[in-house]
Structure 1
Amino acid sequence: MNSEVQKLLQEVEGKPKVIDKSSTLNQCSTKIYFASRTHSQLNQFTDQLRLTSFPSSFEGIEEKIKYLPMSSRKQLCIHEKVSKIKDTQELNDACLQLQKDKEEGCPFYPNPSSEHDTELMNNFRDLSFSDIHDIEDLHDIGKHYNICPYYSSRKSVDIAEIISLPYQLLLQKSTREVLGLSLKDSIVIIDEAHNLLDTISDLNSSSISFKDMLKARNALKSYMKKFSSKMNGGNRINISLLYKLITYLAKYMKKQTDAKKNKPGTEISAIDIFEGTTGDLLNIHSLEKYLSKSKIAFKLESYMEKLETDEQATNINNKQSFKNKKPSSTPVLFKIKSFLYCLSNPSKSGKLFFDKSSDGDTVMTYLLLDPSEAFKDIVEQSKCVILAGGTMEPVSDFTNLLFPYLSSEKINHFNCGHIIPDSNLNVYPIRSFNGCEFEFTFDKRNGTNLINNLGQSLIKILMSVPFGVVVFFPSYKYLDQVVDCWKKAGLLPQIEKLKKVFTESKTDSAESVLQNYSSLIETERKGAVLFSVVGGKMSEGINFSNDLARAVIMVGLPFPNVFSGDLIAKRKYIETTTLENGECGSCYS
């Protein structure tokens, strides 16, 4: 383009847009996507990638791997206030709300039409590709340039050769489209793939309790009464329809509960829910779309919190006693939005059924039972999909449930031997101690005598094993129960005299616990014991090498609850599918 044309364009359009030719010139046609379950597992992949060395595309010129670790706003947000929000959904919504705020806005949000912001994004991209960086590095680079790393990293997608990301960003089509991730002709590697079936099911499943329904209905009623005159016609109509839908669902749940027809696993028909009403005429997809685009969920939650605060202040003034109520970890309308979204799935892909919450409340659950449809576009778009994991037998579960439409010729199996020789590992089943049988079935594991004998046997083991010992429990609830019992019996102080105790928390981050545990052993050369949970944050993706785990103790087995609605629904689905495929169903009878 000659100078006259550039000058003319500048006079007509103002400042010329910054054209970044490098983005087009360096596009990578075949990308490698590496997905794993947790943040720590992705960081481990980054560490291993730093150890690799590949030949350059150009002779005599060193070429670095263009690696991009992608993550959520929760990991990458650098806004002081927004980044402190613990709930992921609330943080996402607060971020989007801040961008629309004309007065304050987000000072770090990159404006693609701004020459200054474009330059900052280019600097962010160039520095992120200067070496193999992890997610924390991208966060720091964003802070250095005062530019949002979550949005700026999208500019690097086209150029990146290897992209690592958590399951959620890969498995949800809507998220891939937002981030600009194209799977066409790519290589997709899914690490810890034994979690894949459950993850797809969880991402496409949802539940809502009767109490949540009542809370949402009452809040909507109060909100409409307060702000109806200030709403436009569209908002009034949509909120009224949403209120009507929630009312129908709540009335149905109460009716079935009163009639004692809410047994866990009992299937629910949408026709029955709206029988005798006009609910079947409601456009659920339209309401779900309204909840997604509008900020009513965030506004309603803020309004509800204000009402609770005013009520507490009134109670104080009237000298009435009350207990402080913690706000819900997930706003109730977010739960309803997720539930409505799941209901839009094909009926054969999942089931709607009753279940019970931990406090005995009636719960309506939608469970995705056929993950193949949700995974199909990934298989069809990619050049190759690799499922990697250490505990994936029987492999037939994955082939039958994830891609039943593929012929066996298109599926390859590769199995490696164990990484260590058999002589390096000894297994000792401990059946009893002091005459007490260790039977950790669901109905027998709560006995005080059994738990105390477990503690005494652990003390004996810790006296003999140096440095680190990791103990796995079946659940967080049982771990808390055991620790409380040991405190009362005076066993926990005896354990702490031998080794410092670290306990995995269901709510808190695992990184700090693991760092302190590792530092005590590797740096201070002292002994420590780590209480963890099977399927929790410490159970996979963490390398407890050498002195970090000179012994691993498994307390019982994490038996599933055979009376849970999820398990009953899955069992019925497997039975039906097996019989429909002409296979023998006698094993389920």
Structure 2
Amino acid sequence: MEAAKKFHHPYEPYDIQLQFMRTLYDCIEQGKVGIFESPTGEDLPLQPRLSGKSLSLACGSLTWLRDHKRKEFDESIAAIEGELQDDDEPEWMVQHSREEKKNQVVQARAELEVKLEKIRQHERKIRDRQENGPPLTKKRKLDDSGNDVDAVDDEQFALDEYESDDEGIKSKATGGDAALGLSKETQALMQKLGYGLSALPKAEDVEAEDELKIYFCSRTHSQLCQFVNELRRIDLPAAIPAVQEEVKKKASLHEELKHLSLGSRKNLCINSRVSSLKTVTAVNEKCLELQDAKTPKEKKCQFMPNKENEGTVLDFQHHALAKIRDIEDLGALGKKLGVCPYYATRPAVKPSEIVTLPYPLLLQKTAREALGLSLKNHIVIIDEAHNLMDAISGIHTVEVSLQQLQLARAQLTTYLQRFRNRLKGKNRVYVTQVVRLLDSITTFLQALDHKEGGEGVVQATELLKGKGVDQINLYKLMHYLQGSKLARKVEGYVSLEQQKQQGLNNTGAGKEVTVPVLTHITNLFMVLTNPAREGRLFYTAAEDKTQTKVKYMLLDPSEHFREIVEEARAVILVGGTMSPMSDYLTQLFPYLDSTLITTLSCGHVIPTSNLFVSPITCSPQNTDLNFTFASRNSTSTITALGESILRLLPHIPHGCVVFFPSYAYLEKVVSHWQATPSPSTQSLWSRLQGIKPLFKESQNTGTEELLSAYTSSVSDTADGGALLFAVIGGRLSEGINFSDRLGRCVMVIGLPYANPNTAEQKAKLAYVEEKAAAAAAAAASASAAASASASATSASASSTASTFSGGRMVTGAAAREYSDNACMRAVNQAIGRAVRHKGDWSAILLFDTRYAQKRIQEKLPGWIEASLGDGSRARGFGEVEAGLKAFYAGKKAEN
């Protein structure tokens, strides 16, 4: 257990896990970017089914964190001793001064724990004041369904006077902060408690230091909860040994790991009127609406920080840090104390050592600013990072339909009919400009040829050709829309009018709060204000004209991620399947020198004998299995695929999962297999069903119900098992474990390349080539500048011609490399669903002639490629079948 003790691992880790932790530790120490591939499900010897990757991540990074604090302490003591040695003082005085200075440093570090006690004392004083006043429980209710809280006057939706472009909105009543939608009083209290970037300095006795910390980010809250569970297993020593002695003097203190979970309003809101809404955006908008400066006090959210519950908010912060809690724990704590967990977690960020949060809260700059998160010199770890580039692009992608534009125009018209006489000065000017913008974009989309599938690239100037649009200052208009809250006011008024028309009694019954469509369209306005070079605008026509759309797509995620990389001390990307890795270097970190990037691809804990991997290039009848766009729809190919699976299925025990490249192709194949060749012949589908029960994923299928039925079928039968048809990139291809009997075989049909003929894919590939050409030209220029040849002129001409020629080759290779990488990342994710622990075993069958190509096989994870053997040789179907039978026979004998 010596190796485990070094990283404070609760169990004896495998060698590959030790390698992972050592490399992670060194990467953080050196302040690098790390790209780590570690197959999920690396079970630990004495604790099967635990995630080795999560524990390795936690132990490696937190060990560095505590070691770094200890090192800083030692260096500060050494500096003090050095200063004392320089003074010409008696030894006894030097010794006394050394101890005194050391104790001061120890005490300063011990304040990380002692300040929590000071905060508790501060809380008690506030609670004492509360106890002398009206009982808090009489003022706060979690069950507010009976309150007449949604009865509103349409006057609250009138726009405040807009004095100037510089001053923004001036609220006559409260002087509220228009950007955040909070009243002046709420802002003042939140500043006092330490919320957000605008927080005021607090008194020294209660202010928490911005502790060096780890930000751990993953895709979903469920994945974050799993990681939090792993944190509970780790027992770390005190960061400063001397602090432990100080702590022993106070029985109530102990240097536990200080962890905090951050989440969205949707995950943390305890107001039933808000949390019950269906979308994240709707929840956000309703929350801000209930805090609006013009909303009557008795109708605002009763869980927001205020003078009455200040002590409860501080109590929440203490409880949040007192033990390791996941997002559900914080929600329950908020309900128990009657205070909003979403806002009450903010001040607890600074004293935390590790903060867990989902993708959007880290990747969106506006979200980080709203939360007051500074990444400066901290460590950022992003788990499940295989889809990081897609996530960044998705966050910055905007799509608006003609129907939404028309709805926004109609809502504005309804609003203007009510408040036209109230609109003066700048309000009138800017609202008119919004109408002109909507009309201009609408006119462009209406003028398109609405043949189904028509698409293309559009320039921002083409969308802004409407009457008077060239006179609009888009920057000032965006400032106005943010400050005036026009979208929220328009939607609020329209919703109120709809309620009245439906004859509702103003109790809120039957009300469906929708997302302000104008808010969504404002995101498109923002893009048009400053169209980035790394993005493109597209249109997509539809026979139903209302579904014709304009879309902005981010082509290059590197610039939006660059600020995180430059601020953080170290950035670590981790995934169970990160291969192929070259895209991260060229697409996400093109500006970094290779010496600043560390990559590690761990092997799997299983022996190679537990895996049978083979490409299948032909059917039993020697029909080539070629699933390119041009040939995969042929009836002969689809029939050959069915016959191949039918031949192999009897040899496969228990569960088998078959991944198709798309939902559309899966439906086409199944439809063909279900067709009966003749009245006397069984369909391929029926014949497959005669061997194993069949289950099929669809876009409308409930994942849990499908998995439950498949699992039951595999469990209820002996060796027969079941056959599950799924889709690469679908809900079953990520985050689902088909371990043991659920996945004794994984089949992959074809390669899921993106359609190269779409406008978006063409633009993306062209941009990749453009970047590659620029990089090649820059490299050639640097090389030419470094040359000191006497024949500089002739050499330069030769070099230019070569570079141009080479540039064409490089950029063509770059586009193909990008397409291959994107395709194989998706394949590798699907393959990775099986073989989840050391004792697991499975077969992986890759149906397509291209899987026999070396350039494709090299993009498989190393632990899978190692089991290919001579897989690069195109083996006949009979040879593959014999090898598969022998593999299963051997496993049956072992068990």
Larger deviation, residues 497-506 vs 225-234? 497-506
Q: In structure 1, how many angstroms separate the alpha carbons of the residues matched to 2:207 and 2:735?
A: 36
Out of 346, 354, 362, the residue aligned to residue 170 of structure 1 is 362
Out of 565, 568, 574, the residue aligned to residue 768 of structure 2 is 574
Task: Quote how far apart the aligned CAs of 1:517 are.
Answer: 6.3
Task: Quote how far apart the aligned CAs of 1:541 are.
Answer: 3.8
What letter is aligned with 1:264?
Answer: E
Scaled by the length of structure 1, the TM-score of the pair is: 0.79
1:376 aligned partner: 562
Q: In structure 2, how many angstroms separate the alpha carbons of the residues matched to 1:70 and 1:507?
A: 31
1:535 aligned partner: 729
Q: Is the 8 A contact 2:263 2:358 kept in 1?
A: yes
Equivalent positions of 1:456-471 (< 5 A) are 465-471=652-658
Task: Quote how far apart the aligned CAs of 1:243 are.
Answer: 0.7
Q: Which secondary structure does the structure 2 equivalent of 1:335 belong to?
A: helix
Q: In structure 1, how many angstroms separate the alpha carbons of the residues matched to 2:727 and 2:583?
A: 25
Q: In structure 2, how many angstroms separate the alpha carbons of the residues matched to 1:422 and 1:253?
A: 56
Q: Which secondary structure does the structure 2 equivalent of 1:182 belong to?
A: coil
CA RMSD in angstroms comes to: 4.3
What letter is aligned with 2:459?
Answer: I
What letter is aligned with 1:123?
Answer: D
What letter is aligned with 1:215?
Answer: L
Q: In structure 2, how many angstroms separate the alpha carbons of the residues matched to 1:192 and 1:394?
A: 14
Equivalent positions of 1:118-267 (< 5 A) are 118-231=310-423, 233-255=425-447, 257-258=448-449, 264-267=455-458
Q: Is the 8 A contact 2:289 2:488 kept in 1?
A: no
**Structure exhibiting the larger radius of gyration computed from Cα positions:** 2
2:607 aligned partner: 421
Q: Is the 8 A contact 2:650 2:691 kept in 1?
A: no
Identical-residue share of aligned pairs (%): 39
Q: In structure 1, how many angstroms separate the alpha carbons of the residues matched to 2:490 and 2:560?
A: 31
- Call closer, same or farther: CA 1:123–1:437 in 2, change over 3 Å: farther
- Call closer, same or farther: CA 1:530–1:371 in 2, change over 3 Å: same
Q: Which secondary structure does the structure 2 equivalent of 1:388 belong to?
A: strand
Q: In structure 2, how many angstroms separate the alpha carbons of the residues matched to 1:75 and 1:504?
A: 27
Q: Is the 8 A contact 2:260 2:355 kept in 1?
A: yes
What letter is aligned with 2:299?
Answer: E
Q: Is the 8 A contact 1:487 1:493 kept in 2?
A: no
What letter is aligned with 2:468?
Answer: T
What letter is aligned with 1:80?
Answer: S
Q: Which secondary structure does the structure 1 equivalent of 2:746 belong to?
A: strand
1:350 aligned partner: 535
What letter is aligned with 1:340?
Answer: F
Task: Quote how far apart the aligned CAs of 1:138 are.
Answer: 2.1
- Call closer, same or farther: CA 1:44–1:479 in 2, change over 3 Å: farther
Larger deviation, residues 136-145 vs 373-382? 136-145
- Call closer, same or farther: CA 1:46–1:282 in 2, change over 3 Å: same
What letter is aligned with 1:30?
Answer: L
1:71 aligned partner: 263
The alignment status of 1:549 with 2:743, answered yes or no, reads yes
Q: Is the 8 A contact 1:28 1:161 kept in 2?
A: no
- Call closer, same or farther: CA 1:410–1:428 in 2, change over 3 Å: closer
Equivalent residue pairs, number: 558
The alignment status of 1:288 with 2:478, answered yes or no, reads yes
What letter is aligned with 1:34?
Answer: F
Q: In structure 2, how many angstroms separate the alpha carbons of the residues matched to 1:560 and 1:329?
A: 33
Q: Is the 8 A contact 1:121 1:155 kept in 2?
A: no
Q: Deviations over 1:374-422 (max 9, x none)?
A: 1222112111111223444554432333333333332233332234332
Q: Is the 8 A contact 1:197 1:371 kept in 2?
A: yes
- Call closer, same or farther: CA 1:449–1:406 in 2, change over 3 Å: closer
What letter is aligned with 2:662?
Answer: S
The alignment status of 1:364 with 2:550, answered yes or no, reads yes
Q: Is the 8 A contact 2:693 2:713 kept in 1?
A: no
2:235 aligned partner: 53
Larger deviation, residues 466-475 vs 302-311? 302-311
Task: Quote how far apart the aligned CAs of 1:565 are.
Answer: 2.3
1:104 aligned partner: 299
Larger deviation, residues 160-169 vs 476-485? 476-485
Q: Is the 8 A contact 2:312 2:337 kept in 1?
A: yes
Task: Quote how far apart the aligned CAs of 1:45 are.
Answer: 2.0
Q: In structure 1, how many angstroms separate the alpha carbons of the residues matched to 2:363 and 2:518?
A: 23
Q: In structure 1, how many angstroms separate the alpha carbons of the residues matched to 2:258 and 2:600?
A: 28
Q: Which secondary structure does the structure 1 equivalent of 2:601 belong to?
A: coil
Q: In structure 2, how many angstroms separate the alpha carbons of the residues matched to 1:370 and 1:75?
A: 30
Q: Is the 8 A contact 1:339 1:366 kept in 2?
A: yes
Out of 572, 582, 585, the residue aligned to residue 399 of structure 1 is 585
Q: Is the 8 A contact 2:620 2:643 kept in 1?
A: no
Task: Quote how far apart the aligned CAs of 1:164 are.
Answer: 1.4
Q: Is the 8 A contact 2:393 2:555 kept in 1?
A: yes
Q: Deviations over 1:496-532 (max 9, x none)?
A: 9945847475696x5x458846974899899566554
- Call closer, same or farther: CA 1:109–1:329 in 2, change over 3 Å: closer
Q: Deviations over 1:253-295 (max 9, x none)?
A: 344x2599x963434142x444584323312233334444444
What letter is aligned with 1:551?
Answer: C
- Call closer, same or farther: CA 1:290–1:535 in 2, change over 3 Å: farther
Task: Quote how far apart the aligned CAs of 1:576 are.
Answer: 2.2
1:319 aligned partner: none
2:843 aligned partner: none
Q: Which secondary structure does the structure 1 equivalent of 2:734 belong to?
A: coil
- Call closer, same or farther: CA 1:74–1:521 in 2, change over 3 Å: farther
Q: Which secondary structure does the structure 2 equivalent of 1:571 belong to?
A: helix
Q: Which secondary structure does the structure 2 equivalent of 1:386 belong to?
A: strand
Q: In structure 2, how many angstroms separate the alpha carbons of the residues matched to 1:29 and 1:394?
A: 36
Q: In structure 2, how many angstroms separate the alpha carbons of the residues matched to 1:523 and 1:52?
A: 35
Q: Which secondary structure does the structure 1 equivalent of 2:612 belong to?
A: coil
Out of 411, 415, 418, the residue aligned to residue 597 of structure 2 is 411
Q: In structure 1, how many angstroms separate the alpha carbons of the residues matched to 2:399 and 2:610?
A: 46
- Call closer, same or farther: CA 1:501–1:139 in 2, change over 3 Å: farther
- Call closer, same or farther: CA 1:311–1:522 in 2, change over 3 Å: same
Q: Is the 8 A contact 1:343 1:366 kept in 2?
A: no
Q: Is the 8 A contact 2:617 2:624 kept in 1?
A: yes
Unaligned runs of 5+ in 1: 314-326
The alignment status of 1:268 with 2:459, answered yes or no, reads yes
Task: Quote how far apart the aligned CAs of 1:187 are.
Answer: 0.4
Task: Quote how far apart the aligned CAs of 1:300 are.
Answer: 4.2
Task: Quote how far apart the aligned CAs of 1:566 are.
Answer: 1.8
Q: Is the 8 A contact 1:31 1:161 kept in 2?
A: yes
2:850 aligned partner: none
Q: Which secondary structure does the structure 1 equivalent of 2:613 belong to?
A: coil
What letter is aligned with 2:573?
Answer: L
Q: In structure 2, how many angstroms separate the alpha carbons of the residues matched to 1:479 and 1:153?
A: 46
What letter is aligned with 2:261?
Answer: P
Equivalent positions of 1:13-92 (< 5 A) are 24-25=207-208, 27-57=209-239, 58-59=243-244, 63-92=255-284
Q: Is the 8 A contact 1:503 1:513 kept in 2?
A: no
What letter is aligned with 2:585?
Answer: T
